[in-house]
A and B are shown apart, each in its own frame.
Chain A
Amino acid sequence: MKRSFPWKRAALALFVSALVVAGCAKKQTVKSEGAPGAPGVASAPAPGAGGVTETPVQETPSSPVAASPAGSPPAEPTVLAAKAAEAGVAVTEEKPSRFEDVRFDFDKAVLRDDGRKACQVVAGYLGKNPRAKLLIEGHCDERGTAEYNLALGERRATAVMTYLVSLGVPKAALSAVSFGKEKPLDPGHDEGAWAKNRRAHFILK
């Protein structure tokens, strides 16, 4: 019998071979699409070489990226800036006090006997000087998280304020601020230093 070229079989074999090559390979081709992972950017697909879809894209970074503020200082009027700087420097400096610090145990805001005695001295002075105003600073040692220590320092300052009020000092004469662990009295890294830093500090205004 005359044999014609086995077109069907050849076509089938070719088709299957193509599938084998395309599918069985460990790796599959990826169509590069629009702009994966770049939200909000328009893309225009353009035909590229070899029939592969390419998407060159015009992307313009939206803002002065990573621009260093050097040369563009924050917009603050000069006078206010100077005042703020003064207050700023003042707030970081340890101000000497005529009163002894109130000391606290680790992680505690409870007054001990020595703390109560120190407060009584302060209350006595304020009783004799009724126009005086007193700032109570709360402080912590360097250990532990700064935010927690900020709150603990405020609790210590408030505990002292409450006790002074209970001794008859008018509340209006008192104010409190916490410095957390930012302003240690003793820069050391041992229990001796830490004990000194867990304190309330009195500043006459």
Chain B
Amino acid sequence: MKRSPAHIFRQASTAAAGAFLLALCLFPSPAFPVLYIDINAPDAKRMPIAVADFAVDPGDPSLSRGIPKILSDDLALTDLFELIPPTAHMETVAAAHFSGKPLSFPGWKMIGAEAVVIGNVSARGDRLSVEMRLYDATQGTLLVGKRYTGTPTQLRSIVHRFANEIVYTFTGVRGVFGTEIAFSARSGKSTGKEIYIVGMDGQDLRKVTDNRSFNLFPRWSPDGQWLAYTSYRAGAPNIYLRNVSTGAEKEVVRFGGSKAPGGFSPDGVWLYAGVSEAGNSDIYRVRVVGGAEEKVVEGWGLEVSPSPSPDGRRIAFVSDRGGSPQVYVKTIGVAGETRISNGTGYATSPSWSPAEDRIAYTARSGGRFIVATVASDGTGTREIASAPDGDCEDPSFSPDGRSLVYTYRKSGYSALKIISSDGRRQRTLVSGLGDAGSPAWSPGR
């Protein structure tokens, strides 16, 4: 068929318009998930999210609001979400919503929610089944859904897992709900100190040791199953390895005088420790199975507090070889150490971030102790936690590197606090226990 110029022009212009629009749409669209939250943006907008009352059948009706409250409380700890209050919710979630019936998304959007969580619970005797789903209310799409089964005592743990999924979905980094902090504190009026564990949400505080001596320096194995710690229960400071679930214990590090565990190698094979021989403390590592030892750092100074890097190739540690305690970094098997604290005053208690190449430590500043972070080459020091009238000490990073737990002390009063790694938000984790200190954040669950 003969084509007129007008006809050709119309076809060409349509094609050109199409091609132009196509190009416009393909560049640049990053393949990020919907509702991506940039956790590094200084004033990131909070994600408005609604956690609907759960459908419960069978089970205690109080679970309907009780479980969403656990989940909402978790999400509120992150400062990433704005929770739409339940009084604003209009739609009642039922079992049908988990077998094909769609939610009424316009209704959720109308009350301001960009994301909705729904849940279906079935609690029969000793079996608990919870299905939870996270929806993008704007697109009406399912982002992540999980069904969990377990016993009723595992309810909080199940909710924490899904909260971690939600955080992962929006930020690309798994949440740390369900993780725990081990620490040392005085037990009641006793003069001794015991090891305690508490959930990162402040719940489930419990005592791990009960021998009424001094139990100090709890440190988690990478699989979260064991705690290494120093105990005086036999009269002198020995290092024990304790299985957190079963309570089974064994002594590791069978040489030297005073000793304190540092961190484990990431493969769980080695425990690093500071051990004194003839009055001089050096850094050793000891095979968890078998006890074979290697000296890692020696010197005429006191070397203590080894903290391995996430890849296990380097350690941060403390040495007073320069006259006062300072933080150093060393590559295992390579001679030489680099000082990363500024050389003045006092710097101790290094904790290597699991997420970036920075180390948190305790520094002396203006007559008191503060928590600071520094890059592993010693540059870019940042003050994170300080108090005008007290001391902030002994930082330990969360497994996602986004928070630190530390000890706050002020003439006789002590508390454990959690602070965001940028220092902007903090909360009290535990207070009221005497002389609480030496906190260690467990690995991810």
Residues of A at the B interface (CB closer than 8 Å) are: 8-9, 12-13, 15-16, 19-20, 22-24, 27-30, 32, 35-38, 48-50, 52-61, 63-70, 72-76, 81, 84-85, 87-93, 107, 109, 144-148, 150-155, 157-159, 161-162, 176-180, 182-183, 189
Contact = CB atoms under 8 A, between A and B. Distances in A.
Nearest to B231: A88
Given A50-B140, A147-B318, A180-B258, 9 more contacts: A30-B33, A60-B150, A65-B157, A66-B157, A69-B207, A92-B192, A146-B217, A178-B257, A189-B412
A119 to B, nearest CB: 15
A154 B258 contact: yes
A76 B232 CA distance: 17
Given A23-B26, A61-B161, A146-B438, A153 B212 contact: no
B87 interface: no
Contact of A148 (B25, B140, B304): B304
A69 B190 CA distance: 21
Given A93-B191, A145-B362, A178-B258, A87 B142 contact: no
A49 B302 contact: no
Contacts of A107: 320, 324
Contacts of B437: 146
Contacts of A151: 258, 260, 274, 276, 281, 302, 304
Contacts of A64: 153, 245
A178 B349 CA distance: 19
Contacts, number: 268
Interface of B: 10-11, 14-15, 17-18, 21-22, 24-26, 29, 31-35, 100-102, 131, 133, 136, 138-150, 153-154, 156-158, 161, 164-165, 168-169, 174, 178, 180, 190-193, 199, 204, 206-208, 211-214, 216-217, 230, 232-237, 242, 245-249, 257-258, 260, 274, 276, 278-281, 302, 304-305, 318, 320, 324-325, 346, 348-349, 362, 369, 393-394, 411-412, 437-438, 445
A49 B233 contact: no
Contacts of B33: 28, 30
Contact of A66 (B25, B156, B190, B242): B156
Closest 7 CB pairs of A and B: A158-B279, A74-B247, A23-B25, A88-B213, A37-B168, A151-B281, A145-B348
Given A49-B100, A59-B146, A176-B257, A9 B11 contact: yes
A53 B145 CA distance: 10
12 contacts: A23-B25, A24-B25, A29-B34, A32-B144, A37-B164, A66-B180, A66-B199, A74-B247, A150-B260, A155-B281, A162-B279, A183-B191
A9 B248 contact: no
Contact of A37 (B149, B158, B165, B369): B165
Given A28-B34, A146-B437, A9 B14 contact: yes
Contacts of A162: 279
B102 A19 contact: no
Nearest to B393: A145
Nearest to A50: B102
A55 B131 CA distance: 11
Contacts of B208: 69
B147 A30 contact: no
Contact of B235 (A16, A55, A177, A178): A177
Nearest to B102: A49
A93 B191 CA distance: 7
A177 B325 contact: no
B438 A12 contact: no
Nearest to B153: A67
B249 A74 contact: yes
Contacts of A72: 246-247
A102 B165 CA distance: 58
B144 A36 contact: yes
Contacts of B258: 150-151, 153-154, 177-178, 180
Nearest to A23: B25
Between B26, B158, B236, B318, the greatest number of chain A beta carbons within 10 A of the residue's beta carbon is seen for B236
Contacts of B169: 36-37
B211 A85 contact: yes
B349 A145 contact: yes
A147 B140 CA distance: 54
